[in-house]
Amino acid sequence: MGCPFKHLLGNEKGALGFFKNTKKQEPGQVSSSGKSVASSTEISRFYRELMNSTEASKVKFVGLTEEDLHRLVSIRPIFEKYVTDIVASFYENLSQVPALMSIINNHSSVDKLRQTLEHYLLDMVSGEIGQDYIVRRKIIGSVHNRINLFPEWYIGAYTLIQNEVLALLLREMNAVNQAREAFTSFQRLCSFDMQIAIATYIDSYTSSMMRLNEIERIQHRLNESSEMLVATAEETSASIGQKETHVVQMLDGTRDIQESSLQMVEDVEEGKTEIGSALNEIDRIVEIMDETREKSKELIESANKIGEIVQVIHAISNKTNVLSLNASIEAARAGEHGRGFTVVAKEVRNLAMQTQSALEHIHEQISMVQNNVSSFENSFEQIAKQASRFREINTAIMSIMNNSSVQVRSNSEKIKNVSRYILDFQQTFTEISTASDQVAKMAEELSLLSNQLNDKFNIGK
């Protein structure tokens, strides 16, 4: 445990201020210097307070009584008159020890400490030996411990002061017995002060040992933690290395899929272009078929008109044949005079028969043309239906390819996003791997510091 008075006192200047500011100004006796001194009643109250404190056993052990406090108050005028001489003699002896002067120069000055010691000695003959007195003594002990003034010097200092006080009392007091009794009271209070100071040293040392033990435990845990941290960092680095390999494989796979998707998009676009060209060709064929159908209709109409003309010619041929038959009859009646006309009528009849035969042949050809045109028109109908069906199929294929192209493009974009995520993931792995390496280095440094701390502990032991 640390010093409970550290916040009250940081150096010797604080100790001096503490003696100046904490002394209660209660009504009582007034010394020759004008400073108040505890009355008999107040001395009794302070002594009861002392005996009710945690230091009561120490008071009993050294034999410090209320009468001792009264006796010390009675010699205060002597202390006030010669306290400067006592302090001067003390520091003259102290100046002969370089180690002590080094401590004084590093933490304060002789002039400041003279004032502090004067207040300290006058405090001992004030009669105010109560709870606050104990606190003031513990603070002084804590300060001496903090500046590394070892107990042997502290105890030795009391011996020097006691020698000076004894000589002073024997010189200034008429009765030797009274001087001896006063010195005994002073000696008992010095012993009580030393008990408090030594207890403060022991508490501080115990607290230091506890802190050292705690530091040793922390160092041991630190060592274990650093070793575990190194092992964990190595495992993490190895795991990250494996995962990073998987990430690279995933990235390569997504790149292959992306390239395949792009190639698929190109193929789909090319297929769309070819199907578009095929649809245009089909539209052109349909147009030609429509034009051919119109021409077929015109051909049928022309054949029908020719048939009508053939019918007219056929009727004329029949009439001509009848006329030639009548002419032959009339020529036979005419006898010799109608013989020439008979020849003409016969030729006309033959011509009519040939014409009729030709007309029949033409009629057959027209009928054949009409039949072929009708058959051709039926074929056109079937071709038109197939072309329309083919167009519908190609249109559906085009729609599917459009959807496929959109879907493939969408998938390609998603794959790009996945690739970016994987790249970010890979970057994160890289950062984690770097951080893991740094953690491993820090763990090694921590382990090194732990070992150095352990070496210091071993040296101290």
Written as six digits, the tokens of 446 are 């921590």
Written as six digits, the tokens of 52 are 């009710």
Task: Express each pLDDT in 400-418 by its tens digit.
Answer: 777 776 777 777 777 777 7
- List Cα–Cα distances, 284 to 12, 331, 376, 390, in angstroms: 116, 68, 19, 13
Length of the chain: 461
DSSP 316-329: HHHHHHHHHHHHHH
Question: Pick from 251, 234, 177: which is nearest to 425 by CA?
Answer: 251
- Mention every residue, 6+ apart, whose C-beta is less than 8 A from residue 51: 59
Task: Express each pLDDT in 142-161 by its tens digit.
Answer: 777 777 777 778 788 889 99
Task: Express each pLDDT in 130-146 by its tens digit.
Answer: 999 999 988 887 777 77
Q: What is the pTM for the complete model shown?
A: 0.44
Round to whole Å and give the CA distance between 301 and 367.
Answer: 12
Binned at pLDDT 50, 70 and 90, residue 429 comes out as: low
Query: Beta partners for 37?
Result: 29
- Count of CA atoms in the C-beta half-sphere (13 A) of 222: 18
pLDDT at 223: 67
Please, are residues 138 and 5 in contact by the beta-carbon 8 Å criterion? yes
76-94 and 110-124 helices, crossing angle to 10°: 150
Please, are residues 66 and 44 in contact by the beta-carbon 8 Å criterion? yes
Task: Express each pLDDT in 161-200 by its tens digit.
Answer: 999 999 999 999 999 999 999 999 999 999 999 898 888 8
pLDDT at 131: 92
pLDDT at 458: 59
Q: Look at 39-43, 57-61, 77-81, 352-356 and tell me which has the smallest mean pLDDT.
A: 352-356
Written as six digits, the tokens of 290 are 């429509």
How confident is the model over 231-246, as a mean pLDDT? Answer: 71
Res. 228: pLDDT tops 80: no
What the chain holds in terms of domains, given with CATH numbers, is: 12-172 (1.10.490.10), 234-460 (1.10.287.950)
Res. 57: pLDDT tops 90: yes
